[in-house]
Amino acid sequence: MYNQPTLPQRAETIEEFGTEGFQNDRVREMLDLADRLVESHGGRLDDSAISAVAEATGADPEYVRLALSVRSKQRKESILARLRTGYLALDPSVRTNVAAGYLAAVCALAAVLSARYGDRQALGGIFQLVCVLGALYNAAISRTDRVALVSGGLFGALYFIGQSLIATILSVEQIQLHAFVLIPYTAGGALAALAAYRLFNRHRARLGLKDPIQERQELLQQLVQIQDKLKSAEQDMTFLSADIVGSTRMKSLADPLAVEFTFNEYHKFVELVVRKHGGSVHSTAGDGVTCAFAHPSHAFSAGKHLQVGLTELNQFRNRIGAPIALRIGIHTGTVLTPSKDDVRSVNFSEVIDVAAHIQKSCPVGGVAVSEKAAAHLPGGMDAIGPDRVEVQTVRAAVWMPRVVLPLSGSAAPPPLPEGA
């Protein structure tokens, strides 16, 4: 279970939550749980499911509703999907009253139109009947009898008021209402809604419907199982991000064949070093390489080997006339993977992003190790080096080799032996 997350101030709740709320790992996991529950229930996330998510994560139900509403906007869902999410984000009692108000307005409109244009086919009457039945069902599934009573009274009152307003706007003389009739409309709607609520709950079992408490407990059990699966997929990984400095300019000034040969050799070199230190190449983007390791010490050893080994690569396998120089960043954190051997499936992780940001701030020829990763190394950050860089509140220590290759000049290979 988690501690309840802190809800932003109500003045700008949606805006502040959109920029700050999703930076919280607990919020993201809460929403992941909600998504899994939605998938297992055919895309429906009702009050019982929201309550189960709240109980499983320790968050307030209103916080869960707000988080779902904000993420719906960020995902750029369709208008209907956003309306549905916004409707579900309302408090259950408020949602019941809103539905009653909409049904009353539609029913009043149908009554006025029927009076003005005639209703020979009884379509208007049928439409009003559907609205009334919808209002009764809306009251029947309310959480409490008090909510049902209020929603029924609201439907009756708004139906009466809606007829008066629409008839006045459309100048329908056939409808003549008196103010005192508002009271029986309201009382009748409230009593009918209360009767529907009690009848529905009395025969809930016969209708094959679960008790809300029982349903919430079942959903909570499913959420706990989902949490266990998510936790079992968690593991601490260290990611090394390496990128060639000025690679675009290097390629533009060299022969295409020489570029292809040299960069192929570079990637072979990286893969060889990474495998030697127990890691694997996670992904490549342009000339950038991201590698995954089980422990920070392996990643740090591989990073130092890459920087030192560039001397030999530039001397014997570089054909572009300029030495390759690297920046390397290392960071450790928790990631979710389907299995321990399926690291490549991790594509959207804060750990990878931080490693890449550290790499961009690292001096050329160095290896920047985040404070979190350095904590697992003998001697910590002080043993890595005296220099420090800071990226997005993450501090890193910088290791530099004794000899750093210049960015200019040539690295002509030695002559090949005769017969080669």
Measured between alpha carbons, how far is 122 from 274 in angstroms, rounded to an integer? 78
| DSSP letter (8 states) at residue 148 | H
How far is the CA of 263 from the CAs of 254, 289, 304, in angstroms?
Answer: 12, 12, 20
Question: What does the pLDDT average to over 157-181?
Answer: 86
Query: Which run of H or E residues covers position 264?
Result: helix 256-276
Compute the 3-state secondary structure of the chain and give helix, strand, coil in percent, each to the nearest 5. 60, 10, 30
The 10 Å Cβ neighbour count of residue 397 is 24
Give the per-residue pLDDT at 41: 54
Reported confidence tier of residue 157, pLDDT bands at 50, 70, 90: very high
Residues forming a β-bridge with 396 = 370, 389
**pLDDT of 265 above 60:** yes
Q: Which token pair is 40?
A: 């297992």
**pLDDT of 191 above 90:** yes
**pLDDT of 228 above 50:** yes
Least-confidence region, from 53-67, 268-282, 322-336: 53-67
Vertex 181 angle, CA 175 and 182, to 5°: 100
Q: Which token pair is 187?
A: 């009382």
Give the per-residue pLDDT at 291: 93
Written as one letter, the residue type at 213 is I
**pLDDT of 213 above 70:** no
**pLDDT of 407 above 60:** no
Least-confidence region, from 12-16, 100-104, 266-270, 401-405: 12-16
For CA atoms 140, 145, 146, 152, give the dihedral sign. positive
Give the per-residue pLDDT at 6: 42
> Comparing 47 with 194, which gets the higher pLDDT?
194
**pLDDT of 409 above 90:** no
> Comparing 201 with 100, which gets the higher pLDDT?
100
Per cent of the chain over pLDDT 70 is 64
Residues in the chain, total: 420
From 1.25.10.10, 3.30.70.1230, 1.10.357.10, 3.40.605.10, which CATH number describes the 233-399 domain? 3.30.70.1230
Structural contact between residues 360 and 327, judged by C-beta atoms closer than 8 angstroms? yes
Provide the CA 140 distance to its chain's centre, in angstroms. Answer: 34
First to last CA, the chain: 67
| Residue 243, C-beta contacts closer than 8 angstroms, at least 6 positions apart | 287, 288, 289, 326, 327, 359, 360
pLDDT tens-digit series, residues 123-134: 888 989 999 999
**pLDDT of 215 above 90:** no
Least-confidence region, from 11-15, 158-162, 278-282, 329-333: 11-15
| DSSP letter (8 states) at residue 341 | T
What strand order describes the sheet that includes 234-244? 280-285, 288-293, 234-244, 326-336, 367-370, 394-399, 387-391
DSSP 41-53: TTT---HHHHHHH
Decide the pairing of beta strands 367-370 and 326-336. parallel
Give the per-residue pLDDT at 8: 41
The 10 Å Cβ neighbour count of residue 226 is 19
Give the per-residue pLDDT at 239: 94
Reported confidence tier of residue 179, pLDDT bands at 50, 70, 90: confident
Structural contact between residues 135 and 100, judged by C-beta atoms closer than 8 angstroms? yes
| DSSP letter (8 states) at residue 27 | H
Measured between alpha carbons, how far is 66 from 85 in angstroms, rounded to an integer? 10
Measured between alpha carbons, how far is 141 from 131 in angstroms, rounded to an integer? 16
Give the per-residue pLDDT at 404: 47
Structural contact between residues 401 and 387, judged by C-beta atoms closer than 8 angstroms? no
Residues forming a β-bridge with 143 = none
pLDDT tens-digit series, residues 352-403: 889 999 999 999 999 999 999 999 999 999 999 999 999 888 999 999 987 5
Structural contact between residues 94 and 151, judged by C-beta atoms closer than 8 angstroms? no
Question: What does the pLDDT average to over 115-140?
Answer: 88
Give the per-residue pLDDT at 412: 43
For CA atoms 110, 113, 115, 120, give the dihedral sign. negative
Structural contact between residues 135 and 150, judged by C-beta atoms closer than 8 angstroms? no
Measured between alpha carbons, how far is 135 from 106 in angstroms, rounded to an integer? 11
pLDDT tens-digit series, residues 28-80: 556 666 666 555 555 555 666 666 666 666 666 676 666 666 655 555 556 66
Give the per-residue pLDDT at 416: 42
For the entire predicted model, the pTM comes to 0.48
The mean pLDDT value of the chain amounts to 78
HEC sequence for 179-220: HHHHHHHHHHHHHHHHHHHHHHHHCCCCCCCCCHHHHHHHHH
**pLDDT of 289 above 50:** yes
| Start-end of CATH 3.30.70.1230 domains in the chain | 233-399
pLDDT tens-digit series, residues 346-361: 666 788 889 999 999 9
